[in-house]
Structure 1
């Protein structure tokens, strides 16, 4: 069953839509504080479709991620207690509280260690961005260093993607088209293994 090939083809169509950049802005914004899908899902096909604008798309996505990060920070700082029941219902409360504990420990030990944790969290796609932004607001990380860490971590991700597509765009597109089924099922299998490990540890 060719599942991911069809999804990839549909995403390429969306990425070439006249309003694709608006969709990218919206996805980058809401992913930073509530939505579970990373903006790279749209960003990569858009870059492949117009390689000469790869860094422009990367910068647009980064800018709206930063705006969304501020919303997540503000919600964590001013409305966390009031929103606890809702977050619990959405199964977001536990990951956010774990992030809070980690950031508080880093802040108590060494502030530069705290900033390093924020940069790494924004850099890796495994940790959803919303947990980082909410936790930073709850802990009370200074806003400007927070934004700098998010910009550095998320910026490395989108700029590296833009660089790779500028250098190997056509080849990257051919490889994705050829192996998208294998890649998609491999990612699902990896997520399944991670979930199984998490439940086993619990």
Structure 2
């Protein structure tokens, strides 16, 4: 039976992205990083995002878990246990991904980008701060929806801080957002009463 070659346009559509197109994406992301990083020259902006970054190291989330236990007894303890479980899974996953991908941080790859705070480790992908913040926020809001006014702006600030401070690319943050969301939602299978307690 005769075979027919695909038209040239169809072949182009099914061809994986070329190195040239990937290079354009990398350069574009680098420009975004440089523009965001320039905001760090503003002392108020730098101080805000540095503070957010420090809180996102764990202090904010430890305080939240402690407050849940103190203010809401057993339900707070269940919520804190859920957060701790998700946090441990997030830590193992993002450390493994960083060792595997070994992506240099923006400030290490581009001399025009400055690290406004010291990084916690060497590699960039994915953003551990963002991964934890997104996962913790989804889980915490399953128990305490009234905390949305606090947790959503804080998590958004954590995500922005990673790029402004020169520590992550936007793709690191986007990937971490997706991974954190999947982990948090998947964890509901282990804690099926999270959304109906109270």
| TM-score, scaled to structure 1 | 0.30
Q: Which has more radius of gyration?
A: 2
| TM-score, scaled to structure 2 | 0.31
